[in-house]
Amino acid sequence: MHSSPQTIALFGNSHQADKFKCALQIILKLQQLGLDVLVAEDFMPVLQEYAPNVVKQVNSFCVGNCEADLAISIGGDGTFLHAAERIRRRAIPILGINLGRLGFLADVKPEMIDVALERVASGNYNISERSLMEVNTSGEVLDSYPYALNDVALLKHDNASLIEIETRVNGELLTKYVADGLVISTPTGSTAYSLSVGGPVLDPQSATFCLSPVAPHSLTMRPIVLRDDVDIKFKVHSRTERFLLSVDGRSQSFLTETEVTLRKADYNIAVVHVFSNSFFRVLREKMMWGEDIRG
């Protein structure tokens, strides 16, 4: 049990106007429960267009200056990452409402919204702390937020041949990956990009990083799981002298003379769960573990 929140901040995808009905349902339910509602300024225009009377009583907030007891992301895991990026170090727990395919971060289905909000209002929920990765670059500066909740990827450009990624752990050479790229995931991100390139599923509470090569030139290259109290340095070699660095999907091109360092961030993101064992439940449902999928 946790203390009952008084102020709830809403985050949504401003490019998905068809999701506004769910957002209005959430606003009305929260107001019925006696909670104050704030809406992210980049999501407010969508609501104002479709339901001006409802949002008249709702204030907006600057996405870089969110002050609330709890946040709700409306959309999917991508919207959840968007909310986490804007909350940053404010230690505001996030509840994810999933309006698309079942997600690992946004795991509340639309038909369970009212029940979920009632539990939140009464403090009947759990919180899991999720670790992030901090990204540092030598030379060129990373334009985007230098923290990843899911993963960091070093990738070749579309028109490039294979790249070589020299990888050192606490100064010691691990290997030189020759591949289309390399995905470094947190436990939370193990079910995202990393999984699609053959990485293992990690328990979200495990203190680990996973390195998974993308289309490696050698079949002997396999994913490796490391403790997350290490510094990992990367030096990329490419014929085009450039590579892509992706931080939770935010991509930027860098010269190969740029060295990339990853380490565990000094803060976590708090994820709200209103149903028990939600990770394992979603894992079973999303990946159909144990299901007979034969025709």
Q: Which residues are catalytic?
A: 77
- DSSP 8-state assignment for residue 108: B
What is the distance between the alpha carbons of residues 124 and 250, in angstroms, rounded to a whole number?
35
Length of the chain: 295
Residue in 145, 268, 165 with CA at minimum distance from that of residue 218: 165
Q: How much helix, strand and coil, in percent to the nearest 5, is found in the chain?
A: 25, 35, 40
Six token digits for residue 119: 């539990």
Nearby residues of 138 by Cβ (< 8 Å), 6 or more positions away = 258, 259, 260, 261
What are the beta bridge partners of residue 211? 184, 224
Nearby residues of 158 by Cβ (< 8 Å), 6 or more positions away = none
Six token digits for residue 178: 């020759």
User: How far is CA 176 from each of CA 182, 197, 215, 221, rounded to the nearest angstrom?
Assistant: 11, 18, 14, 10
